[in-house]
Structure 1
Amino acid sequence: MKCDMYLTFDGNCEEAMLYYKAVLGGEFTVTMRYADGPPEYSNPEIENKIMHQTLIFGDGCELKASDSFHEPLNKGNNFHVSISTSNEAQAFSFFKGLSKEGTVTMPFEEVFWGGKFGSCIDKFGVQWMVSLEAKTI
């Protein structure tokens, strides 16, 4: 079993996913535009927007996303994308990249439960949690 995060954007999915790829590394395994879909999606206003995209990075992590098709997007605060790693340099790099031009809601630093942790809202309004796993003896 696995659980993936799926993000929906208001027309800037491609920009956001390219940004995440630059920060997190990895590769796109699927990129499908609305023009690639069935005829009911043949609307010139959205044909070049992202219908579905998957970014694979790290050790089996997947981030999936699309542009909203019908309704205006209502951004909420009921989700975070959570990344956990045992590599401190990688964790710091992820946090630094994701928080650039965004808002740090908790600085990346040592935490009482062990390891390091930080949270931020990126420049696209997506909430992130980055954890450095505590070392065990």
Structure 2
Amino acid sequence: MKLYSYLSFNGNCDAAFKFYEQVLGGKSGDRMTYGASPMADQVPEGWHDKIMHAQLTIGEQEIMGADSTLEYYEEPKGTSVLINIEDAGEAERIFEALAENGTVKMPIQETFWAARFGMLVDQFGTPWMINCDRAG
């Protein structure tokens, strides 16, 4: 069994996944627009270039996502994508990059459980937690 994070976007999935690919060092995988799908004739006007499905591989992990039409889109609540990183400097780099034009909920810092931990919502509305465990 595998578990994946599947992210919903309000029309900016393509930009978000290009950003995540750059920041996280991922490799873009499957990507389909609504206009290239078998249901292209049922898509709302202006949505043919929006993403119906996108995949990004980061190491051995994957995240997926899509643009949700306005009647189905809901802002994420009660969940976050957690990135656990072994290197404190890399944790800070990723945190700062994801926080650009976003909202920091908890600045990245040392905590009683982690060498570095921080929470943010990025410019695309995705909530993230960045964690770097304390050394052994």
TM-score above 0.5? yes
Name 1:53's counterpart in structure 2: 54
Name 1:81's counterpart in structure 2: 81
- What secondary structure, in the 3-state scheme, does the structure 2 residue paired with 1:104 have? strand
8 Å contact kept, 2:113–2:133: no
In structure 1, distance between residues paired with 2:47 and 2:22: 25
Name 2:95's counterpart in structure 1: 95
* Stretch deviating more after TM superposition (64-73 or 75-84): 64-73
Name 1:27's counterpart in structure 2: 27
In structure 2, distance between residues paired with 1:70 and 1:77: 17
- After TM superposition, the score normalised by the length of structure 1 is 0.89
1:64 aligns with 2:64: yes
Deviation, structure 1 residue 54: 0.5
In the alignment of these two chains, the number of paired residues is 134
Name 1:4's counterpart in structure 2: 4
| Aligned alpha-carbon RMSD (Å) | 1.6
Q: Which runs of 5+ in 1 are unaligned?
A: none
Question: Identity of aligned pairs, percent?
Answer: 34
- What secondary structure, in the 3-state scheme, does the structure 1 residue paired with 2:114 have? coil
Name 1:17's counterpart in structure 2: 17
8 Å contact kept, 1:10–1:72: no
Q: Which runs of 5+ in 2 are unaligned?
A: none
- What secondary structure, in the 3-state scheme, does the structure 2 residue paired with 1:55 have? strand
- After TM superposition, the score normalised by the length of structure 2 is 0.89
Q: For 1:88-129, what per-residue CA distance to the aligned partner results, in whole angstroms no more than 9, with x for missing partners? A: 222111101011111111111111113211001111121100
